[in-house]
Structure 1
């Protein structure tokens, strides 16, 4: 992930569905998007696992393929 903090421009560390800036010590919300249609993904959580589902016909999306953007 190559997202940067909007305040200090330090690379962000992804933690689940959030990003953390170590310099500013803030958590920023991320939006997960489908790599095929670029629409927001539904986040499914169960038993500690996080999965991503595209409601626009692309089904389950691998965590490695999800596109994350700052909200």
Structure 2
């Protein structure tokens, strides 16, 4: 089973440049939070690998420790 489940109906989300739920027609983005201070992390993507940086702690965070949450696409950081 995938970790990419709709937060509304728990159905599998499809990737379309963002996460989409065909069951409830919701669009979501996956947001990472710092395991130490709970601040939203900045995703750094290079050479096919993703790293997560916490601006509050001023350090990289291990993906295995990051807390991920699906949030409605239109509400995250003012993105529509």
Whether TM exceeds 0.5 here: the answer is yes
Shift of 1:9: 2.3
Kept in 1, the 8 Å contact 2:6–2:70? The answer is no
| Structure with the bigger percentage of strand | 1
**Equivalences, count:** 67
Alpha-carbon contact 1:3-1:69 (below 8 Å) kept = no
Quick check: 2:44–2:51 contact (8 Å CA) kept in 1? Answer: yes
Match of 2:9 in 1: 8
Structure 1 unaligned blocks of 5 or more: none
Residues in 1 aligned to 2:7 and 2:57: alpha-carbon distance in whole angstroms? 33
Query: Where do 4+ consecutive residues of structure 1 move more than 2 Å?
Result: 1-4, 6-13, 18-21, 23-28
- 1:52 aligned partner: 52
Q: Does 1:62 align with 2:62?
A: yes
Partner of residue 39, structure 1: 39
